[in-house]
Amino acid sequence: MFTLIYSMAVVARGTEGNIGQLATAMVIVLTIISICVFLYVVEHVSKELRPVTVMAEVAEEAIEVIRAVYPKTLEESSGLESQLDESPLGVPSLVVLHVGTSGVVQALDIPTLAEIATHAACTIEVVPQVGDFVASDDPVFRLYGDSSGISPKQLLRHIALERERTLEQDPAFAFRIIVDIASKALSPAINDPTTAVLALDQIHNLLRDVGMRRLDTGLVHDSTGQLRVVFRTPDWEDFVRLAVTEIRQFGGNSTQVVRRMRAMLENLIPILPPYRASVLRQELDLLKFTIDRGFAMLQDRERADLPDSQGLGGRKQR
């Protein structure tokens, strides 16, 4: 646009001689620069929109979210994760319903909810977890104990609902995004199992990180040890099922997909605690069953049942 305006100005002024030649040269140079910038932008945007780039960026952000939502590693904590149902809360004294436009829970202000509960000497249970859809009149909070000093509006200010999920406090959504990319790549219309293998690379990294963290941070106590806030987060089984199930189902007849998935599961089993590894062994059994059903020829089944970190062409791990 600048080049066009400048050219019109030069013509309008009727410049001649050296000034006209200089202006023409400048127009040519600026045109070349504009073309180069345009080609650079197109190339940069095309690279940024590649599935592998998107998945890598999502995984990087997911690692930060995982470490924020689950700050303690297994080495920093003692014992297994406590279960929410080990301490029944009884009958709620107040149930707060959602009022207004429906939406997906994007974030919870847990520290402020804990302060409110501590000040009122009660326990607040957050019914939906981050990522859940909440419709009008759905229960959002249940209060136990003396809730007379707490107004529903006060609580509803500390839960964020929007039209769609985000990664802000929702590490499972990162798995969902990457799995969806892999699922689309495995559709008959696209048939791109290599992208699914690249997705498993990122999922492998995420499972390794979340598998080494304590996942029961849904219980908040005050300084005296009283339970003040209960909220739900995905557990280890939730992450594993989300990460593996659909890719196994859609890619069950792709040699490189099942080989990469076996390599991932067999790599994680020895480095995670036994109670975490048991879920992975169940997934290995399901993978074996899927392979047996997906490949008619014995040679194909034997080839598909080998772990391979690249899917096809990588170094065999057995």
The answer for residues whose C-beta is within 8 angstroms of residue 224's C-beta and 6 or more apart is none
Measured distance CA(145)–CA(227) in Å, rounded: 11
Token pair, residue 130, equals 């981050």
Q: Which pLDDT score, from 0 to 100, does residue 63 have?
A: 95
What pLDDT score was predicted for residue 20? 67
For the whole model, what pTM was predicted? 0.80
Q: Give per-residue pLDDT as tens, 265-307.
A: 999 999 999 999 999 999 999 999 999 999 999 999 999 999 9
Tell me: the pLDDT tens digits for 187-217?
999 999 999 999 999 999 999 999 999 987 7
In tens, the pLDDT along 88-119 reads: 788 999 999 999 899 999 999 999 999 999 99
- Using 50, 70 and 90 to split pLDDT, how confident is the model at 315? low
Sign of CA dihedral 86, 90, 96, 102: positive
- DSSP code of residue 59: H
Taking a C-beta distance cutoff of 8 angstroms, is the pair 198, 51 a contact?
yes
- What is the predicted pLDDT for the residue at 42? 64
- pLDDT per residue as tens digits for the range 60-90: 999 999 999 898 888 866 554 544 444 578 8
Output the CA torsion sign for 76, 81, 82, 84. positive
* pLDDT reported for residue 257: 97
